[in-house]
Amino acid sequence: MKTIQLGSSHLHVPNIAIGCMRIDSLSTKEAEKFVQSALDHGANFFDHADIYGGGECETIFANAIHMTPAVREKIMLQSKCGIRKGMFDFSKEHILHSVDEILKRLHTEYLDVLLLHRPDALVEPEEVAAAFDSLEQSGKVRHFGVSNQKPMQIQLLQKYVKQPLIANQLQLSITNATMIGNGLEVNMMTENAVDRDGSILDFCRLHDITIQPWSPFQYGFFEGVFLDHDNFLELNQVLQRIADQYHVTKTTIAVAWLLRHPAKFQPIIGTMNTKRLAEICMASELTITRQEWYEIYLAAGNKLP
């Protein structure tokens, strides 16, 4: 599997990450099989969050991979914190407590990456900075980032946080590509011309922050998967034709579309199906053409000036 540099860090990670939000839907044997399948494909970067399954997903993962120091050296672990019931919480106390609980559930002494999960309207960046310093000095977290944040929110944090923020998880797919459309439909009266995110795509590229697209097969906000959906007949026809040319599936091409972007995205893949995982991992080494990329983009209903 191809690797990319994660933000401005020294980490070189697979260009496809394994999201573990749904691992609690698997039996013990199924979870073990899935995790081993990911490792067999070279996908050794696993994304978690303390709210996934109420924390149970991290426990299931640790058991499924049979976590030991030897195993830990071969994988990379990322988790997120900051979401609580009915609120967000970036206080120093909550961040530190969350990380301690995450480490217990994952049976590890450190995280490779910790992300702040969704923006907190009441964030006090000085507290975040103090928490990050404590976590770095104790060796509990080696790198830091954010999730679903706009440029000014990142800049506010970075004014106080001395550690570089190396990743930003954002919703992005062929059918949810407003951050791309905004950069194309400049000075137009079209829907995508409205800047809803402060040009986050260009900002992240300028500041060496890796974008980790989540829900890469979804349309809307968890409304469904665009693959084989009647609302996206033209898109699926184009995906199938291009997939046939490369002797792969539409799933592979949908991920290859993201990986073709020069921003060097690291998609977070949420499937728990080993067959689909194999199809997704095939995209790591596949580079579609510029013409194919634009054809797919337009087939999803996006516009060009």
Q: What CATH number is given for 3-232+260-284 in this structure? A: 3.20.20.100
What lies within 8 Å, CB to CB, of 87 at 6+ separation is none
User: What is the SS3 assignment for 201?
Assistant: helix
> Can you give the pLDDT at residue 51?
97
Question: Judging by DSSP bridges, how do beta strands 218-219 and 3-5 pair with one another?
Answer: unpaired
DSSP per position, 138-197: HTSEEEEEEES--HHHHHHHHHH--S-EEEEEEE--SSS-HHHHHHHSTT-SSGGGS-SS
Place of tokens 């995209």: 283
Domain ranges for the chain: 3-232+260-284
Predicted local distance difference test score (pLDDT) of residue 220: 85
Determine the pLDDT at residue 236: 98
Q: pLDDT tens for residues 182-226?
A: 999 999 989 888 899 999 999 999 999 999 999 999 998 878 999
> In terms of DSSP bridges, do strands 224-225 and 218-219 run parallel, antiparallel, or are they unpaired?
antiparallel
% of the chain at pLDDT higher than 90: 96
**pLDDT value at residue 221:** 80
pLDDT at residue number 222: 79
Q: pTM of the entire structure?
A: 0.97
Closest CA to 106 of 140, 77, 146: 77
Q: Do you know the residue count of the chain?
A: 305
* Longest distance between any two alpha carbons in the chain, whole Å: 56
For the chain, list residues with pLDDT below 50: none
Quick one: CA dihedral 245, 249, 253, 256, positive or negative? negative
DSSP 266: -
Convert 261-293 to b/e letters by CB count within 10 Å (16 or more is b): bebebbbbbbbbeeebbbbbbbbbeeebeeebb
Place of tokens 């439909």: 185
CB burial of residue 184 (10 Å; 0-12, 13-18, 19+) = middle
Per-residue pLDDT reduced to its tens digit, 112-154: 999 999 999 999 999 999 999 999 999 999 999 999 999 999 9
* pLDDT value at residue 291: 98
Beta bridge partners of 89: none
